[in-house]
Amino acid sequence: MTELTKAEREALLDRARAIRDYKLMQAKGYERLARRAKDETTKRLLAEISAGETKECEYWSRKIEELGGSRERAGKTFLTGQRVDLMLRILGPRSFMEWVLIAEDDSVEGLAIAAMNIGDAATSDAWSRIASDERLHVERIKKEVLGMEAWEMTGGGGVRDVIFGANDGLVSILALVAGVYGAITDSHTIFVAGVAGAVAGAISMGAGAYLSSKSDKEVTERESERKGIRRKGTPEEEQARLAKFYRARGFSGREAEALASRVSAEMQSQSEHTIGEDVGLTSEESWPPIKACALTGLSFAIVSLIPILPFAFMRVIPAVITAVLASVGSLFAVGASKAIFTRKSWIRSGLEMMAIGTLAAAATYGIGLLIPV
């Protein structure tokens, strides 16, 4: 790869390492699911998928070596396995696999962009083809293993609702408490205002999550019907509709029934089945809006107690100090948790959330000072 400049090589290395890492996570994930599987057919399918991802991981390790990078260290491989175990427990198998596929897809897009920016035309074409092949591989896994189209990939489920509800609860209620404290230095008044804000915020967040989840579900169902992913009726209803259609076209009752039975069976076998159904990763059910509403609202209400409760038991100055310290620490924890979905550095994500919450509280405190009481 002598045609590459240092900057081009680093850009390719960065994307190649990311792709290798996410493939390793998939391989480890399917390997662990295979260990848990009780059915031998399911166990074999999961093991085959894991072996395929391991081969893909090895391919990218060779590419990294060609670019002057090093292979994955045994210690990092072990830590990746531990991370996969944790995320499988938190997210569940389907959401975890969706998450890691989206991450790999993003990395492949980054590789395609890096390939386009290579000055040497032949090398640029070679890496563009590699990115294109990898994109096809990701799409195949989405459809054949998870039974998903790209627009259906969400990831996170209830955990995501909890994290974002907690995030809004901490920032908004801490800012509310700080604003009231800037105007009124009375613990009871601040406590009452905080409780009122927490109740109103929890209801608002829950309603918003319900409407958002309901809209997503409606869009997914409409697209699924349009693309033929889901049938509108049961197999029996579909067969009866087909029989009626053929009788209207002049076939006898027996001929219409025979044709309808054969066509219905063929449609069912071709349109609905994926590998993911064998391994338990696909589901007809989307995340219920009522659950999104409950989890988001409850998480908002629970974490909002952190900046409020000190004012129920302490004098105003100790309560303020306790509320700020507890809230800032919680903001970091929630921000770090968001990194599960954003795939950014958990330290950076935590510090970013701390900064946002602190600035919001400082701004409302300043506004409170300006309001005469």
Domain containing residue 252: 235-271
pLDDT attached to residue 230: 45
Would you state the structure tokens that stand for residue 77, as one six-digit string? 């491989």
What distance in Å separates the CA atoms of residue 160 and residue 303, rounded to the nearest whole number?
15
Q: Which of 111, 95, 247 is nearest to 161 (CA)?
A: 95
pLDDT attached to residue 341: 62
In the chain, the N- to C-terminal Cα span, in Å, equals: 71
The CATH number of whichever domain residue 70 belongs to comes to 1.20.1260
Q: What is the pLDDT of residues 143-199, one digit of tens each?
A: 766 654 443 444 445 666 777 788 888 888 989 998 898 888 888 999 999 899 989
Find all residues with CB under 8 Å of 277, minimum gap 6, and list them. Answer: 147
Domain shared by 33 and 102, yes or no: yes
Residue 124 lies in a domain: yes
Residue 278 lies in a domain: no
Domain shared by 19 and 130, yes or no: yes
- Cα distances from 158 to residues 19, 92, 162, 357, in angstroms, run 27, 10, 6, 23
CB atoms closer than 10 angstroms to residue 250: 8
Q: What is the pLDDT of residues 65-80, one digit of tens each?
A: 888 888 777 777 888 8
Mean pLDDT of 50-56: 89
Find all residues with CB under 8 Å of 227, minimum gap 6, and list them. Answer: 149
What's the chain's average pLDDT? 78
Domain shared by 333 and 354, yes or no: yes
Q: Specify the higher pLDDT residue, 355 or 262.
A: 355
Mean pLDDT of 208-237: 62
Domain shared by 198 and 168, yes or no: yes
125 pLDDT higher than 60 = yes
Domain shared by 13 and 64, yes or no: yes
Given a contact cutoff of 8 angstroms between Cβ atoms, the answer to whether 167 and 335 are in contact is yes
Residue 64 lies in a domain: yes
What distance in Å separates the CA atoms of residue 108 and residue 67, rounded to the nearest whole number?
17
94 pLDDT higher than 90 = no
The label of the residue with tokens 């800012």 reads: 175
Q: What is the pLDDT of residues 299-315, one digit of tens each?
A: 899 999 999 999 998 88
Domain shared by 196 and 130, yes or no: no
Domains: count for the chain: 3
Q: What is the pLDDT of residues 314-358, one digit of tens each?
A: 888 998 899 989 998 988 888 887 776 666 677 888 888 888 888
Domain shared by 125 and 15, yes or no: yes
pLDDT-derived band at 227 (thresholds 50, 70, 90) equals very low
Residue 170 lies in a domain: yes
Domain shared by 51 and 132, yes or no: yes
Q: What is the pLDDT of residues 24-42, one digit of tens each?
A: 998 898 888 888 877 787 7
Would you state the structure tokens that stand for residue 307, as one six-digit string? 């900046």
Would you state the structure tokens that stand for residue 299, as one six-digit string? 């998480």
Would you state the structure tokens that stand for residue 242, as one six-digit string? 């087909």
pLDDT attached to residue 120: 84
Given a contact cutoff of 8 angstroms between Cβ atoms, the answer to whether 341 and 164 are in contact is no
What distance in Å separates the CA atoms of residue 202 and residue 208, rounded to the nearest whole number?
10
pLDDT attached to residue 336: 82
The C-alpha angle with vertex 136 and arms to 20 and 42, in degrees rounded to 5, equals 75
Domain shared by 309 and 194, yes or no: yes
